[in-house]
Every structure is written in C-alpha cells, then in structure tokens.
Structure 1
Amino acid sequence: MDGDADDLDQLDDVQRELEDLRLENRIFKSYYERHASEVAEVDEEKRKTTNRQRRRQLPTVLTIEQKVEIGVHEQEVAHKDLEDTKRNSEKLIDTLKAVLEETDIRIADLKKEAYEFKRDIVVGAENMRTGNTMAEKVIRYMEDKLRQRDAMTEKLRLKNTTLKGQLQKVEGQLRQKDDMGDALHYIDFHQLQIENKQYVSRIEERNDELLKLKMTTGKTVQALNTLKNLLHQRLAESEWLSKEIRLRTETLSKIKEENGAVATEITAERRAKKKLGQHKADTQEMPNVDDYIAQKATVYQLQSYLANWERKVRNIDAVLRSSPPFPKRVVPTDSQSAWPFYMIYRLSSWHEHCLKRMHTRCC
C-alpha cells in the first residue's frame, strides 16, 4: 500500500512537471515567434564567425537568468497587450455609448416629428366638413421637411469641406516635416513627441467632454419630452377648467336671476299678506257667515217680491192706460145712503174688466 501511494505521488509530480514544461514551451514559443527576425540575424552572424567558434558546443538548456528574462519580457508584453485591449475596449465602449446616445436622440427626433405630423396633418389638416385630409397642408408640410433636410445636407457638406481642407493642410504639414526630417535634431523629435502627447490628451479630454455633452443632450431631450407631455396635460386641464368656469358662471347668473325673481315674489307675498292682515282686521266686527247667508237669502227673497210687485204695478199701469177712465163720482138722486153700494158695484165691474184685460194680455 505504501508503494502504491509513493507511485501516485511520483505520478502527480511528473504531471505537474509536464504542465510546467508545457507552459514554459508556450512562453518560449511566443518569445521566439516575436523575435524570429532577431534570431535569424543572430544565426547569420554566427555563420560568419570562425570555425573554432562554430565547433564550440552551444548550451541546450536555458539558464535560470535567461528563463527569468524571457518570463519578465513575456509578462511585460502580456501586460502591454492587456492595456491595449483595455484601451481599445474603452474606446469601443465610448463609441457604442455615443452611438446609443445618438440613437436615443434620433428616436426622440422621430417621435417629435411623428407628433408634429399627427398634430399638423392627421388632426390639424382634417377638413371639419368632409373629414378628409387637405392635400395642400400635406404638401406644405413635406416641402418644409425637405427644405430642412436640404439645409442640414448643405450644412454637413460645408462642414465636410472644411474638415477636408484641414486634413489636407495637416497632411501637407506632415509631408513637409517628412521632407525636413533629415534636418531635424533629437530635441525637435522630443519636442514633437511632447506636443503629440499634449494633443492626444487634449483630444481625449475633448472626446470625454463631447461624450458628456451627448449624454447631457440626451437627458435634456428626454426632460424636454417629459415637460412637453406635462404641458399638454396642463393645457387640457386648463381648457377643461375654462369650460367649467364658463358653465359655473352661467349657472351663477341664472341663480342670481332666480334669486331676484324669488325676492320679488317674496316682496309681493309680503305685501299681499299685509293687505290680508289689514282686511282681516277690518272684517273682524262683521256678522257670522250663517247670519250673513240668512240675511242674503232674505234680501234675495225681498228683491224677488219687489220685482213681482213692480211687474204687477207695471201691468196695472198698462191696463189703466188702455182701460176706460175711472167713473166719476155720481151721487144718486134718490138718496145719499145708496152711494156706498153704488161705488162697490162700479169698482167690482171695473175690477172685473181689468182682470179680463190682464188675462188677455198674459195669454
């Protein structure tokens, strides 16, 4: 059992040594491929050496110092590659952020254009009578948009021309510097390197500022859209409040008119009540209703009697006017005692005659 454990330990050690050797081989291979040209030059120089130097046996194993030097060199190269990759990744990230910001701005512009198109064409250009969209407004809207695009294109063209001029100027300066490169000294190159570093740092600062400005612009556009939506909501609320105020004002005027009418009615009712109170005070000493009705019935009955008697009197007057004259008083010759009987006879005959005439007229 102990022998098997020792064998396993030895096997693990051998595997670790193999892994280390593979790692060293990869590092040495990378170093060799990177310095292949230098190795070729060294081989060419070795061919030109003397035969004795050729016969000298070269070492087949690298020393510890050489391995350390190669490892440090490869570490520096790997660190440099990592820094370059990190720098390129940061530039790519900044570029992608700028593209995203520009995309957001473009999306906001498209939303704005869609809103303006809906406001000016879909809703604003609609004919209230027919419900169709007026072609003149659509054409005018498209012409305005085309003019804006043409102005933007002209602006970009001028900017492109300016940048091309600057590029040609810089290229001319570079060619001039290349032509004068033989006359330049080490101090000039050193100064140019310093200026180049300064310009590179300035360009990076400007790029950072540009990125910040783009981000700020995107946030500003978003805030502007939010404020526009809030403004539309407030305008809608303002219109609704204006309508409510107008309706409430009309209702208030109607209520005031009704209050005036009610006040007038109240005044009239108070006057009528006052008159009724005075009339009631005046009629407190009047007789009872039953007595008043009985007296009124008596008055009507007496008026009926009076009318009957007046009618009778009129009839009698008519009969008297149409009848022979009333006999004169004649005293009997034979005796004064016969006068009453004679008058009764004459009155009875005259009365019968009148009754006949009345009966004839009535029938």
Structure 2
Amino acid sequence: MADTESIDTHDTSNEAGEDALQDLTDEQLYQLVEDALRANEVLATETQMFEKYLKRVEPKDLTGIASGSGATPSQSSQDLVRRVDRKRSKSRSSNIDKSLRLNAEQKCDIAQREIEELREEIDKLKEESEKVLDLYKAIMEEADLRLAETKKESYEFDRDIMKGAVNQSSGKVVAEKIVRYFDDKIRSRDTLIEKLRLKNSTLKVQKKKLHLQLKQKEEMGEVLHEVDFNQLRIENQQYLEKIDERNQDLLRLKQMAGTTIQVLNSYKKKLSTLTLESERLKSEIASRNDLLTRIDAETTVVEAERSLAEKRNKKLRQQLADYRVPEVMEYVSEKADLYELQKKVKSWERKVEIADMALKTHRKTWQQMKISHQMANQYHMMEAH
C-alpha cells in the first residue's frame, strides 16, 4: 500500500499560498489538480481496504495497530470522519491526522492480511467450482449412458417387435411376443440389479477393509501427511491437464477426419458423374465417327460418279462439236440418236446436281459435328479446371 503525504497549510500562510497559485500557469495548475486527484484515488483505495479490514478483524486485534500511533480503535474509526472535514481549523486537524496516520509497517500488515484473505477466498471458490464441475460432468456422463441405453432399447424394440413380431397375414403385432419381450427385459433388469447389489456389498466390504488398514496405519504412524496429499493432488491435476490436451487433440483429429470424409465423398460423387459423362461422350463420339465414315464413303462414291459423268459429258460435247451434216436419212437417224443422248445428258446432269446437293448437305453436317465436338471438348476442359 502506497504511503501518501498530505499538504497542510496554516492560516498565516494562506495569502502566500494564494500568491503562489496565482503565479502558476494553467498547465502547472492542471498538473497540480491531476496529482491531487491521483493522491485522492490512492487514499480512497487505502480507506476502502482499511474499512474491509476493520469489518473483518476483531476489536482485540486493533490494539496492536493503534499502539504504534497511541490511538484507540474508536479513535482510528473516527479518523475517517475527521479527514473529510478539512476546512475546519486546519492547524488542529493536521496534528490529529499525523497522530492517527498508519505507518508503513501497519499498512503492509493490513495489505498482507487482505492478500491472504483473497487467496483463501480464491482457493475456496476453486474448490467449489471444481466440485460443481465434477458434479456436472458426472450428470453429463450419466445422461449420455442413459441416452445410449434408451437408443439401444428403442432400436431393439423396433427390430424385434415393430418389425420382427408382425403377423404376415393380419399385419398386426403379435401380443405374445410383446409380453415375452418385456418379460425378458424385466428379467435382465432383475439380473442387473442383483449384480449391482452384489457389487455394492463387495465394495462395502472393501471399504471396511480399507478403513481398518487406514486405522492401523494411523496407529502405526504410517499415514500420508498433508504434503504427500498435496503432491498427489498436483500430479493428479497435471495428469488431468494432459488428458484434457489429448482429448482436445482427439476431438480436433476427429473433426479433421470428418471434414476429410466429406470432401472425399464430394469428390467421389463428382468422379462418378464425370465417369458417366465420359462414357456417354465416348459412345456419342463412336457413333459420330461411324456416321463420318459412312459419309466419307458416300462422298467418295459420289465423286467417282461425278467424274465419270463429267468425262462422258465432255466426250459427248466433243462428239457434238465434231458433227458433220450427213444424209437426210442419216441425219434423221443421228437426230434421233442426238435426242436420246440429250435426254441421257440431262438425266446425268440432274444426277450430278443431286449428288452436289447431297455432298453439300454431308459437308454441312460434318462441319456441325466438328463444331459440336469442339464445344464439348471445351466444356469438359472448363469443368476439369
């Protein structure tokens, strides 16, 4: 606890003090006010601690504190009231304050006792909180066990009764199986109760043996001391902290494993989707290649027919150009042959036009297939990225 000093002024020096305050600047006055406020805060803290000390200790314990200053406990309590009214006769109150002020040793003693009290309160709170925490942990474990048992019994009831005891003809649950099921459950509970009773009696016997052994050790002087128990408590606390750390690591690893499994499942779904899409595209590509092969074969045949028709047409035109006027009857005969040849030429030209149109159609279809194939490849490349 810090030791603060009060500033005492006499009536004869009021004018000198006022002159000194008037000579100070605004910053110096502000600093002086700040120092006074900090000193007041320290005094308020000391007063609050001293009040707590006075409320807690017995009156007989105050004699040792007041003996150093020559004041009684009642005078010490009146000191708090006298310090407030400092405007009255400052020359008299200053001497009383000096006689009633605690010295540094007494302040250290009070602060040490306050620290010890706080430590004791903290230890008590820690013990109570540990007890409450242990109780809550036990309640949670019991609730988890009961929940697991309830889920197991619900699953068994649904498996054995709701699904396994249904009559196939009527679609209703057989009552005898339900009665048998509950009888089995009651017998199993009775067996468990008997086991727990035997275990309880065994633990009681062990408890009595341990009490006898402890009593014998106390008589022989081999009982563990408080230091040993404190050491064991510290080791137990260290082991509990290590167990908590391992549990946190295990929980973190479980969370990481769950996240990894989720990511793996998502990638598996994506892989199956892409596999199906790849198979579909492979079959489509194979069908398009077959169609392209047929179109190429047809195009080759049409080109051969077209070249042959052009050759024939050229030959006929050459013959027509080399034509000489024959006799009348020969002219008539040749004219008839000419008409026939012209009809054949027109038919072949019509066939060539049809072949050209078919070729254009096949080329257009081939271009569309190439464009669609390129777009499909771009789409799959974008999905892969």
Compare relative contact order (CA 8 Å, sep 6+) and give the higher one, 1 or 2: 1
Which of the pair has more CA radius of gyration? 1
**Superposition TM-score, scaled by structure 1 size:** 0.42
| TM-score normalised over the length of structure 2 | 0.40
